[in-house]
Amino acid sequence: MSIERLVVIGGDAAGMSAASQARRLKGPGELEIVAFERGHFTSFSACGIPYWVGGDVNGRDDLIARTPEEHRARGIDLRLRTEVTEIDVAGRRVRARAVDSGAESWTSYDKLVIATGARPIRPDMPGMDAQGVHGVQTLDDGQALIDTLARARGKRAVVVGAGYIGVEMAEALIKRGYEVTVVNRGSEPMSTLDPDMGRLVRRAMEGLGITMVNDTEVIAVRTAEDGHVRAVVTEDAEYPADVVVLGIGVRPETGLAKAAGLPLGTHGGLLTDLAMRVRGPLADGSVWAGGDCVEVLDLVSGQERHIALGTHANKHGQVIGTNVGGGYATFPGVVGTAVSKVCDLEIARTGLREKDARRVGLRFEAVTIESTSRAGYYPGASPMTVKMLAERRTGRLLGLQIVGREGAGKRVDIAAVALTAGMTVEQMTALDLGYAPPFSPVWDPVLVAARKASAKVRDS
């Protein structure tokens, strides 16, 4: 029996999960595994960077789930600081360049995993390359930001973008004693929520002393004579800044794949089948892709989306590794669940927002209710706002959004499972959810929302 070679491009969650799972199923006598990573680290939690910056996490090493040495000990030929510069799909080989020496060479593969991740969007405008302007996508990015904060001249920070990374970074900088301004293109922060729910997040952020500037576009970064950032300029104003953090989202890193002729989706990500195998005529079944560089099927809208999230990347890697290792596994898609927090405010969402439902032509009813995390009389009961969307006539659950305090966020999982199962809001009213005074009012907030949504669907 000849030994097959698996080549993995990208040493983070998806790539190294795939490599590890394949190794679990096939030993070095059956499968050789070569993984290329252009950075210094493997298998790190990018989602943890804001907490490292904010001081909740001790240090960089805490964010590393598995070190290069651990991977190598499991028989993975990991090549750090080595960047793949070309994929030759027809020839089943990749060209890689050692970042430090510049030396290049080709490596052939029987199976290829593309896990090149995503890169932060850096608007094309003057001053973006100034010192003190930071993305927070990789551990190297996080380290660079922490170094800037250590050297800082002043204590004014501007965060560009108010999605979950922007909001989490605003909290981290507040914790480090900064005066924080968040500059946001949308009408409210957290555009993954409907604006009426985003407004609750804005109020909480303002309550923390964060200055929230909505409905505005950054047009330039002004630099001092020494090349360090001095201010962020928007259409309407100028905000002095000693440090700038970019939290305006990420794009799939698919330049290599595109150059290789692999077709990309409308969001610029690779498209795969359920087994995470790359689709398209060129991909002959030997190419797999997962993590932040792929688009995923939204099971509620039926459309492809790009969602950069560690939990999906890990699932992709697991699925790919199982399939490459001779088993069979699938990733059916997502329902769009996300949860985040800013100080003690918990923010969660799953499924479709109002504008998503409109975009795909669904008619819906939306309801919003107020409830509490525990029985009203139990200590620590805190208020929670729940918004629910249901399809008109059928009553099918379309989405859920929650803004509240302790105990609010993970309630979104109830709706995530219900969406996956295609439940109606009427069916949800009968759900047998855990009840005891320290955990929930006698009607869980999600049940209260389901009752109201069900009544509205019935009356419509």
The residues binding its own copies (CB under 8 A) are 13, 45, 47-48, 51, 56-58, 62-63, 65, 164, 309-312, 314-315, 318, 330-332, 334-341, 346, 348, 350, 375, 377-379, 407, 409-414, 416-418, 420-421, 423, 427, 429-440, 442-444, 451
- Shortest Cβ 46–its own copies spacing (Å): 10
Closest to 5 in 3D by CA, of 83, 114, 107: 107
The structure tokens listed for 65 are: 């789930």
Q: Which is nearer to its own copies, 361 or 434 (CB)?
A: 434
Contacts of 411 (CB under 8 A, 6+ apart): 348, 384, 386, 402, 444, 445, 446
Side chain identity at residue 75, one-letter code: G
d(Cα 120, Cα 160) in Å, to the nearest integer? 12
d(Cα 139, Cα 110) in Å, to the nearest integer? 31
Each residue of 403-440: b (16+ CB within 10 Å) or e?
bbbebbbebbebbbebbbeebbbbbbbeeeeeeeeeeb
Q: Which is nearer to its own copies, 58 or 101 (CB)?
A: 58
Side chain identity at residue 339, one-letter code: V
Neighbours of 304 (CB within 10 A): 16
Q: Which is nearer to its own copies, 242 or 346 (CB)?
A: 346
Q: Which is nearer to its own copies, 50 or 127 (CB)?
A: 50
d(Cα 316, Cα 299) in Å, to the nearest integer? 16
The structure tokens listed for 344 are: 């003690």
Q: Which is nearer to its own copies, 71 or 156 (CB)?
A: 71
Report the catalytic residues: 47
The torsion angles phi and psi of 167, rounded to 5 degrees, stand at -70, -45
Q: Which is nearer to its own copies, 52 or 109 (CB)?
A: 52
d(Cα 212, Cα 154) in Å, to the nearest integer? 20
Neighbours of 370 (CB within 10 A): 11
Contact by Cβ (8 Å): 189, 214:
yes
Q: Which is nearer to its own copies, 257 or 381 (CB)?
A: 381
The structure tokens listed for 122 are: 């850096």
HSE-up of residue 391 (Cα within 13 Å, Cβ side): 16
d(Cα 277, Cα 290) in Å, to the nearest integer? 9
Side chain identity at residue 356, one-letter code: D
